[in-house]
Amino acid sequence: MNKIVIANWKMNPQTKKEAEQLFKAFLSKDQKLNKNKVIICPSLPHLFISQKLKNKKVLLGAQNVSTENEGAYTGEVSPKMLKDMGVNYVIVGHSERRKIGEDDETINKKILNLLKYKMIPILCVGEKKRDHDGFYLSYVREQIKSCLFGVSSSNIKNIIIAYEPIWAISSNKGTEATVSEFTEMKIFIKKTLSDLYNEKTAHNILIIYGGSVNSINAKPFLEEGGADGLLVGRDSLNIKKFFSILETIK
């Protein structure tokens, strides 16, 4: 099965020239992409690379979007603006956005807004820590229920869910998640979606993994863990490391 690999550049690189060089490096190795779907999510000032997107193997995503469509919202960017730049995928609910105050209600509004414009939200969910009593499971379940509130069964198929355990993110100096920990959560997420919608619908929703993804752990998460793809942060800025990850996908 083909996989989805998302490159989240975060607030990098720092110049237009560096962004162009990094993007050109992606395109120079496009023969290695095979049939996998690769989505680059640069920072907003670097969305100009969409003008150079003539290669259908590399798709464009964004790291954030407003809850509003237009108006007096200083510093915000609307779904329509992003779509006009060639963006079809948008990361919502990333742990780094939640850390600065974004809550499930706000994320839900963003998702509903994106769906109106037929754009694909990449919804990030994940617990801050694991406990022996299993409270982290109910934490993730409530995230999913709140963020997907009002999303119809016909629209849920257009959402990608990224499981992103906050305790496993390298910027938090966390420990790496194991394949079995991801597998457990994937099953749980599918069960939650089945309860919200139905088993058939839940089966068709893509669940990807994000959390200190690298060329060593990528293959186990994809093959043993059954991840439908990967959300790559730091290693997406290093073309050699990123394509090492892609090369693990058969």
Q: What is the DSSP string of 2-26?
A: --EEEEE--S--SSHHHHHHHHHHH
Calculate mean pLDDT across residues 60-83: 96
The DSSP element (H or E) to which 229 belongs, if any, is strand 229-232
Name the β-bridge partners of 124: 162
pLDDT confidence tier of residue 6, bands split at 50, 70 and 90: very high
pLDDT confidence tier of residue 109, bands split at 50, 70 and 90: very high
The CA distance from 150 to 22, in Å, is 38
| pLDDT above 80 for 50 | no
Name the β-bridge partners of 60: 40
| Percent of the chain that is helix, strand, coil (3-state, to 5) | 45, 15, 40
pLDDT of residue 32: 63
pLDDT of residue 28: 78
Which residues participate in catalysis according to the annotation? 94, 164
| pLDDT above 80 for 33 | no
pLDDT of residue 55: 62
Sign of CA dihedral 202, 210, 140, 44: negative
The CA distance from 37 to 126, in Å, is 23
pLDDT of residue 52: 67
pLDDT of residue 23: 87
- Sorted by where each starts, the structural domains of the chain and their CATH numbers stand as 4-247 (3.20.20.70)
**Over the stretch 188-227, which tens digit does the pLDDT of each residue have?**
999 999 999 999 999 999 999 998 899 999 999 999 999 9
Q: How many helices (H) and strands (E) does the chain have?
A: 9, 8
Structure tokens at 177: 């998640």
| pLDDT above 90 for 77 | yes
Average pLDDT value over all residues in the chain: 92
pLDDT of residue 164: 96
| pLDDT above 80 for 60 | yes
**Over the stretch 133-159, which tens digit does the pLDDT of each residue have?**
889 999 999 999 999 999 999 999 999
